[in-house]
Structure 1
Amino acid sequence: MSEELLQRDLQKNPEKIGKWDFYNIGATSIKNLKEFGIIRNVDYGSEEKKKIDALIVQKKNVIAVIEYKKPSEFKTAIQKQKAIEQELEVAKKLDAHIIIATDTKDTIWVNVLTGNKIKDEKGNFIKENFNPKDEKLPELIEKIKYSINELSDQLKPKELVNPTDLAKQIWQDIWSVSGATPENCLYTFVELFIFKYLSDLGVLQGIFNFNTLYSSYDGNTEDEVLETYATTIRPKIKTLFPENSIDKTTIINGTIFVSKDQKAVQGYSTVFKKVLKKFKDYGKLEHIDYDFKSQLFESFLKESISKKNWGQFFTPIKVVRAVVEMAKDDIKEGVKICDPACGVGKFLLEPIITKLDQFYEVKKGKLIPKITIHGYDKGFDKDEQKTIILAKANMLIYFSDLLKDNPTITTEFAKLFNESFILKTNSILGTLSEPIENQYDLIVTNPPYVTSGSSNLKDEIKKDGDLVNYYKINAIGVEGLFMEWIVKALKPNGKAFIIVPDGIFNRQNDKNLRQFLLDECFIDGIISLPIKTFFTTPKRTYILCLTKKGHKKQIQTDPVFTYFVSEMGESRDVYRFDIDQDDLNEAVTLYSFFKGNKQSFSKINTDVRCKIQPIELFKPENHWCVERWWSSEEKETLGIKDENLKLKIEEFPTLLEEVSNSIISIKAEVEELSNDANKPKFIKLAIKDIFDLKIKTNNSKFTKTFIDKNKGEIPVYSASKFPENVDYGYVKDKLEGVKYFEDCLTWNIDGSIGKVYLRKGRFSLSEKVIPLILQKKYKDSLDLLFLKYAIEMEFSKHYFGFDNKAGKGKIQEIEISIPTDSKGSFDLDLQKQLAEKFKRIEDIKKSISDELEKISSTEIEFE
């Protein structure tokens, strides 16, 4: 332990730099920092022994690593570079943003992602000295943190940080005169934004330039100027960026100022001038901010009065970035990435926004992509086609820096946009109409969630023999069809990160889909998102992480990462204000550590929102709604309240139908379980005859303190309220005086009285837990899982509790009924069958309870 942290009380009372914690700690190692909970308790490898001079931390997230040097060691360029290199690896391991190397007089600021020194807005290296007492320091660090990324070492220009306010003003102007939906206001804003932007880059010149058009108000009427835009400039933009010859879509399609037959709309010329003036007054759009590119569509949705109509292609940017962060290790040169329900394309564009130079090369007038992205969406009329138009326009905005450097090859960019985003209009099935197999290395998507009306799609599938053979699972809803498409479209060993609704994990009539996922894929992780994560659905949703098996015969042995997210860094109303609590970011960070250490991660994990679950828990007949695997006590510890579903009165019948269908499917399964013509015979044996009760557990000296001093690999289970958790920690094997057990049942005297636990592998126990070790003569004839349920059933009749504790003396005479075969011998196969039935009945009762809870807890809104 670190004497420095204890003596200075830094764990509870750290120094402050603005809102962040500052630890000036030259004598404390990385290992000490994680043991004290200052940084995450994960494996930092060989860097754990290293001592750091100082850290700036926010909720275990390392903002900056500080290296202090003597002036004599910080004079030359070589000395300064050495100081940077000395901290770079540890800063990367800590996932820090900034390295600050200083001798208190001279300071170097370094971007950890690139290893380069950070520049100010004008391109000069930052010279500000690092002084923790400087009141301006937090502002500088915030600005650096906001600006730098894998592509940029420079602070963003202050005057062009983010034109979102401009977007909102123009939305109001357009809506006030037209009453158009936010969708159409958005399309129109994006079109004019592109017009101004292409003009500022020099792509549009002469009579086609924004400034030329605006100056033409001197001497021309407002109607004439709008007519010039409609008949001269728009066709020019479409010439520079040719449309896709198949689906006829291009980057612009505003409908407010220009009619469908490409003529100026009478009566809108005054507001057109007003909008152009706001663009003019705003200034040049050369440096488009990263966050503006990402949040343009989000800002319009916040103003939307018809969110339900277009939420189908909108995923909150924080969720998009979480998925992208989880998938980033799989995004490299040569990969093929797909989003089969792409909407405006964010899942495909966010991963490349800071890596354009790495993934796209311009050579001899040709734009050469080094990765392939495919986004599909369907549409049959102009409104539906606008999603792909917006995706292409979005791609142009994301590619702004590359286009700025290569303004003369617009046709090349148009070709890339058209190949990347494709409209599927040949069938009502859209993307689902093409039975693709083994094509993509990575799929990231948020498919539509629709149960009603999906029968129309299934009827369409029945008309095509190839599709009938492709979609074999008969899953519920459109999302079920998409899941089948996604898995089949992945290459062997390919990965998928999919936003899925609770129905896929919960519906009994989707157990075939869950079986399909287990057969074809490794289940890497499931992150439970909070209710109302999405604007348009009250459903609980999840991030499902899959790896397609290289060979179908492979069996998953790795555990599954699960995480219970309560908040994701923003309010879950239409306003989406930033808030402090961000469990989603923490989930993503821990998932990255889990990926590299799946088998051992649970031993170092201390986050109670994170559970590493055995794959055996993910049976197709069980629900996979992972947040239900946190007990009420655990939720209370976390301060989590179970949120009630809120539905409009017209949405309530749909919920009733879903619950009814689920219970009907459960009823059919119970009937199947009860249809057993052969009723077994049973004989009774006392607990003392089945188990060797003379074997003792550990004594009262076997404490947490003792375990902390003898840390090892063997789990120690206690009689806590959370018996699945390893509360006591892990101890070394073969310690003198310590009793160890293996593959047996245990019974709690205190804590979760009434439950028997089957503990697998080697373990140890606290004094309040009784080991139930089979007599040697029964080892090959009695099934432990059956005994677990049989004992619990008998114990429930004896009302054990804190006033009636269940010591060995009280349980030894209790008799257990055990099935026999026709010869009167213990029937091991039948025991195993009954054990499975016991477990399934438990799961079914829980499923019914959960389904009814959905109805009883739902709040009905009449607005």
Structure 2
Amino acid sequence: MITGTLKSQVDAVWNAFWSGGISNPVEVIEQITYLLFLKRLDELELVKEQKAAATGRPVQDPIFPVGRDEFRREYRDLRWNRFKGFSKDELFEVFTESVFPFLKDRVTRLSDGTASSYTALMQDARFTIPEAHLLQKAVDLLDAIPMKDRDTNGDLYEYMLGKLATSGTNGQFRTPRHIIKLMVDMRAPQPMEAICDPAAGTAGFLMEAGEYLREHNPDLFFEPEQRVFFNSEQFHAFDTDRTMMRIGAMNLMQHGIDNPVLERRDSLAEVNSADVDRYDLILANPPFAGSLDKENTSKALLKLADTKKTELLFMALFLRLLKPGGRAAVIVPDGVLFGSTKAHKSLRHELVENQQLEAVISLPSGVFKPYAGVSTAILFFTRTDSGGTEDVWFYDVKADGFSLDDKRNPVDTNDLPTVLERWEALRGADAEAAGAERARARTEASFVVPKSEIEANGYDLSINRYKEIEYEEVQHRDPLEIIAELEELEKEIATGLAELKGMLK
């Protein structure tokens, strides 16, 4: 967690950009991201230099080479600790001519000089800070923020990404962090599992999965195979928006994931055959854009869901991307649970009959406010291609720790810890705890529904179809007794009025 002081420092940088004429929140974050990365490169180089000084050996794989660039500018002038002391005009000149081109080249190369997954994403990156004084102010403000600690670094970046939601127009790019954390905790990613988000946005799901792996696997980086896999092969992200992919890439980098697999692509267009049956875990909150042009949609997906509805097509995509035995936790609009079209019904039939549908968690409609009030649910399923659904666990979340209005202020009521606790009890080794969870009544927040009942209801997965409402018996007073009391009151009023009238004569 970042402190109030650090938040105010970030707010000051943010406000400087807005007052300087950059009002698009995505552009603000993108430009700040470049500055933060330059600062990080300098800090990494300093660590290399300190190590070299201690061992008496040359700096290994220096980030900033000896020599000059095409503008005859020494590469050492491109380091944060050097250019932060320049005058505003010299700073702006060196930045536009040398620093930003160097950044575009450096961020796209690994330590051995080979291209990284960032190469394509940085091709059209632009430096858009318009004035020298704004650049100098941003550098001065960011210089005061400590960024050496990975956790602080990541939390600061997450705080900035949180401003996408509060900005209104760009809130659709970001799923609330606490919802992401719940989904990751429930799915418990493991080392050597390939994880994918086909609608990545700011890559929040992949970032949180990385944090989970670090926390629950202390020896993760002591095993060379796991370490290499974590940094280069474990995390896969797709999105159509290159700017958002750059921001997501920097988010992963700030959280210590060096070279994730990032691709700018339309996930619903022709699916890359190399990605079919490839992933162990999918975590996603795909866009609910309503409908799209079938002509540009993968024919393989249309075979699973012959529809224009993006939410259904993404569900079909998840089933193709997962390898047999692969798991998923994905957010869907409520319509997926009870929609009456042929595509809706066939997709639910596929999940229940041919795969293993494990859980349906109903979220309150205010979770995505202020920019959307749609009711949603989280589906947990495993691809088996041979069935396996015996029963489905439902949970009716009423509160997520924040008010359900546009302000989304913190509140005391929060069901999410209980969701995780009951899920772990249901799936844990303690047979007694699992049995107790399965035995819960339909009037409680969570309960289990057998597959046969879901089948009998036409594969309807809405929680209200199965939840029972317990009505309390209320004892009402005898109406004649209430009428008698009203008559007495009427007499008292009449007497009072008569007395008042007599006083006025």
Q: TM-score range by the shorter chain?
A: 0.7 to 0.9
Q: Which amino acid aligns with 1:445?
A: A
How far is 1:240 from its partner? Answer: 2.6
* Aligned residue runs from structure 1 range 530-569, under 5 A: 530-535=364-369, 536-549=371-384, 551-552=385-386, 554-557=387-390, 559-569=391-401
How far is 1:522 from its partner? Answer: 1.2
Q: Which runs of 4+ in 1 moved over 6 A?
A: none
Pick from 182, 191, 197: which aligns with 2:34?
191
In the alignment, does 2:183 pair up with 1:344? no
CA distance in 1, matches of 2:268, 2:321: 16
Pick from 159, 173, 190: which aligns with 1:296?
159
Note the alpha carbon deviations across 1:800-853, whole angstroms, 9 max, x for none: xxxxxxxxxxxxxxxxxxxxxxxxxxxxxxxxxxxxxxxxxxxxxxxxxxxxxx
The 3-state SS of whatever aligns with 2:382 is strand
Matched-pair contact (CA < 8 Å) for 1:561–1:611: yes
Pick from 192, 196, 201: which aligns with 1:334?
192
Q: Which amino acid aligns with 1:512?
A: S
Q: Which amino acid aligns with 1:421?
A: L
Larger Rg: 1
CA distance in 2, matches of 1:336, 1:571: 35
CA 1:543 to 1:292, structure 2 compared with 1: closer, same or farther past 3 Å?
same
* Aligned residue runs from structure 1 range 22-101, under 5 A: none
CA 1:346 to 1:283, structure 2 compared with 1: closer, same or farther past 3 Å?
closer
Matched-pair contact (CA < 8 Å) for 2:96–2:127: no
TM-score by length of 2: 0.75
CA 1:505 to 1:245, structure 2 compared with 1: closer, same or farther past 3 Å?
closer
**More helix per residue: 1 or 2?**
2
Q: Which amino acid aligns with 2:99?
A: I
The aligned residue for residue 581 of structure 1 is: 413
CA 1:169 to 1:531, structure 2 compared with 1: closer, same or farther past 3 Å?
same
CA 1:486 to 1:562, structure 2 compared with 1: closer, same or farther past 3 Å?
same
In the alignment, does 2:81 pair up with 1:207? no
How far is 1:576 from its partner? Answer: 3.5
The aligned residue for residue 338 of structure 2 is: 506
The aligned residue for residue 625 of structure 1 is: 462
How far is 1:433 from its partner? Answer: 6.1
Note the alpha carbon deviations across 1:168-192, whole angstroms, 9 max, x for none: 2211110112142111111112221
Pick from 98, 101, 107: which aligns with 1:241?
107
The 3-state SS of whatever aligns with 1:621 is coil
How far is 1:396 from its partner? Answer: 1.1
How far is 1:302 from its partner? Answer: 4.3
Q: Which amino acid aligns with 1:181?
A: N
* Aligned residue runs from structure 1 range 434-833, under 5 A: 436-452=275-291, 454=292, 456=293, 458-461=294-297, 467-468=299-300, 471-475=303-307, 477-509=309-341, 510-535=344-369, 536-549=371-384, 551-552=385-386, 554-557=387-390, 559-596=391-428, 597=431, 600-602=435-437, 605=440, 608-619=444-455, 621-633=458-470
Whose relative contact order is higher, 1 or 2, with alpha carbons under 8 Å and at least 6 apart?
2
CA distance in 1, matches of 2:148, 2:295: 50
Q: Which amino acid aligns with 1:233?
A: V
The 3-state SS of whatever aligns with 1:572 is coil
Matched-pair contact (CA < 8 Å) for 1:161–1:289: no
Matched-pair contact (CA < 8 Å) for 2:334–2:377: yes
**Over the residues paired in the alignment, what is the CA RMSD in angstroms?**
3.3
CA 1:172 to 1:564, structure 2 compared with 1: closer, same or farther past 3 Å?
same
How far is 1:370 from its partner? Answer: 4.9
Matched-pair contact (CA < 8 Å) for 1:359–1:369: no
TM-score by length of 1: 0.46
The aligned residue for residue 245 of structure 2 is: 388
Pick from 420, 423, 442: which aligns with 2:264?
423
The 3-state SS of whatever aligns with 1:235 is helix
How far is 1:472 from its partner? Answer: 3.4
* Aligned residue runs from structure 1 range 73-472, under 5 A: 163-202=6-45, 206-217=76-87, 222-242=88-108, 248-250=120-122, 253=125, 255-257=127-129, 265=130, 268-283=131-146, 285-286=148-149, 288-289=151-152, 292=155, 295-307=158-170, 311=172, 313-328=173-188, 331-353=189-211, 355-356=213-214, 358-360=219-221, 368-370=228-230, 372-379=233-240, 384-399=241-256, 413=258, 416-417=259-260, 420-424=261-265, 429-430=268-269, 432=271, 436-452=275-291, 454=292, 456=293, 458-461=294-297, 467-468=299-300, 471-472=303-304
How far is 1:271 from its partner? Answer: 1.4
Task: Give unpaired runs (5+ residues) of structure 2.
Answer: 47-62, 65-75, 109-114, 475-505
CA distance in 1, matches of 2:247, 2:321: 25
How far is 1:544 from its partner? Answer: 0.6
CA 1:347 to 1:579, structure 2 compared with 1: closer, same or farther past 3 Å?
same
Q: Which amino acid aligns with 1:531?
A: S
Note the alpha carbon deviations across 1:550-579, whole angstroms, 9 max, x for none: x52x4532x221111111112334543322
How far is 1:505 from its partner? Answer: 0.7
The 3-state SS of whatever aligns with 2:144 is helix
Matched-pair contact (CA < 8 Å) for 2:31–2:128: yes
How far is 1:341 from its partner? Answer: 1.1
**More strand per residue: 1 or 2?**
1
